[in-house]
Amino acid sequence: MLEKTLTTTCAIAGGGPAGMMLGLLLARAGVDVTVLEKHGDFLRDFRGDTIHPSTLEVMHELGLLDGLLARPHQKMSEVGVHIGDEHLTAADFSHLPTRCKFVAFMPQWDFLDFLAEAGRRYPGFHLHMNAEATGLLEDAGRVAGIRAATPDGTLDIRADLVVGADGRGSVVREKAGLDVLDIGAPFDVLWMRLTRRADDALETLGRVDMGHIFITIDRGDYWQCAFVIGKGELEDWKTKGIEAFRETIAALQPHMADRTGELRSWDDVKLLTVKVDRLREWARDGLLCIGDAAHAMSPVGGVGINLAIQDAVAAANILAGPLRQKRLTLADLRAVQRRRDFPTRVTQGVQVFIQNRVLGPALRRKGRMKAPLPLKLLGRFPLLRRIPGYAVGLGVRPEHVEVEER
């Protein structure tokens, strides 16, 4: 096996939304950047596939929105939910002060492929597939690069900055010894797909009843479905058997009863172990973590991807100049955390409140459910729906592209 050494200005571990967006923005700003993606492609099913108005606004600012929306996608301008026998509209995006007043549903591999294509237009953008970060290179206590395993051998990349964007199981943050605050979550999610038919309702809905939460996301010719379970309950469900699981889904969504047989075995069901945590410090000298590597988000609201992209935009705005001018300091890296720590804490606080005070009790309730008063108010007064629409669609402190193209 060969050992190879490269030199770049910024090495990014992780080709997810945060890593790809940061790589694109830095290359666009004239910074030499190398992105490492451990897989050979982006084709992983049941990744978060929502692109929120805040992210679509960023794509507009980059002049890439029309090209992105030319790819197959579905649009959702409001969020509905069934609780017991009641159907309520919980959020409305149609009044947001953005060019796109909807959430776009697009397979994440299409979104990442699009960002990669945009990045390759710049000579300073380098994407290495099948390159998994395994360790850090250090000089006198300062992070000076990253080590990756590739099919051809070991790849050492010397860099002025290493960015950990390698998700909630981040190797970079582990090797850097950064302290993680584990906040916890009372549930996990089982992902699956069921055929979507032409006469199915077009809305993307959550259904809450009889101690179960089932979410269906319109993906064109199929429904991407999420079944929420209590933390660590997958083995209990497996003991009951796949037939009992199919019957539970059929009871929640009677119009899908004739297609639950598409779940032939537990191999057709994928577990997402929900984690909510954040780093106390996002940076060391020569290293920064962003996205899930800095703060794993609950799936509540589906905002994790978009928060990660906001991190990338803020990081590019703050760091592009110092990187290009070879004057990067630890203070610059800490400025990224100062900018993004407040939105992270507020968002996680709201998510934890919802998961502990709403979703947790809903999973424990065995009988028919009724909508809580706040949701009833949202259903009755359309103006109130704009509040969760803003919170989910734009979030706290949305970022805008400030660094100029070079």
149 shares a domain with 36: yes
Measured CA to CA in angstroms, residue 402 lies from 61, 220, 399, 405 at distances of: 9, 35, 9, 9
294 shares a domain with 250: no
Read off the amino acid at residue 198.
A
42 shares a domain with 174: yes
Summarised one tens digit per residue, pLDDT across range 124-175 is: 999 999 999 999 999 998 999 999 999 999 999 999 999 999 998 999 999 9
Phi, psi of 308 (to 5 degrees): -60, -40
Summarised one tens digit per residue, pLDDT across range 233-269 is: 999 999 999 999 999 999 988 888 999 999 999 999 9
Measured CA to CA in angstroms, residue 125 lies from 15, 211, 393 at distances of: 13, 49, 30
Q: Confirm whether 121 is domain-assigned.
A: yes
167 shares a domain with 67: yes
Per-residue pLDDT at 41: 82
Per-residue pLDDT at 107: 86
Q: Confirm whether 197 is domain-assigned.
A: yes
Read off the amino acid at residue 352.
V
- Of 208, 242, 272, at which residue does a domain stop? 272
283 shares a domain with 242: no
| Residue range(s) defining the domain that contains residue 125 | 2-183+275-393
Distance (Å, rounded) from C-alpha 109 to C-alpha 131?
Answer: 17
Tokens for 332?
């610059």
Task: Determine the average pLDDT of the residues in 291-300.
Answer: 93
268 shares a domain with 283: no
pLDDT band at 332 (very low <50, low <70, confident <90, very high): very high
Residues 6+ apart with CB under 8 A from 19: 12, 13, 35, 37, 163, 165, 166, 291, 312
125 shares a domain with 72: yes
Q: Confirm whether 222 is domain-assigned.
A: yes
The number of folded domains in the chain is 2
268 shares a domain with 328: no
- Of 272, 304, 324, at which residue does a domain stop? 272
Summarised one tens digit per residue, pLDDT across range 46-91 is: 566 789 999 999 999 999 999 999 999 989 898 888 787 778 888 9
Task: Determine the average pLDDT of the residues in 320-326.
Answer: 97
Q: Confirm whether 400 is domain-assigned.
A: no
Per-residue pLDDT at 110: 92
Q: Confirm whether 209 is domain-assigned.
A: yes
- Burial class from Cβ neighbours inside 10 Å (0-12, 13-18, 19+) for residue 349 reads exposed
Residue 365 three-state SS: coil
55 shares a domain with 9: yes
One-character DSSP codes across 180-223: EEE---SEEEEEEEEE--TTS--S-EEEEETTEEEEEEE-SSEE
Q: Angle between the 17-28 and 108-119 helix axes, to the nearest 10 degrees?
A: 20
Distance (Å, rounded) from C-alpha 147 to C-alpha 158?
Answer: 9
Average pLDDT, the chain: 91
Q: Confirm whether 405 is domain-assigned.
A: no
pLDDT band at 203 (very low <50, low <70, confident <90, very high): low
Per-residue pLDDT at 45: 58
Percent of the chain with pLDDT over 70: 97
Read off the amino acid at residue 20.
M
pLDDT band at 227 (very low <50, low <70, confident <90, very high): very high
Distance (Å, rounded) from C-alpha 345 to C-alpha 280?
Answer: 11
180-182 vs 33-36, strand pairing mode: unpaired
DSSP 141: T
Q: Confirm whether 356 is domain-assigned.
A: yes
Per-residue pLDDT at 179: 95
155 shares a domain with 219: no
Q: Confirm whether 404 is domain-assigned.
A: no
Q: Which CATH number belongs to the domain containing residue 101 in this structure?
A: 3.50.50.60
75 shares a domain with 155: yes
168 shares a domain with 243: no
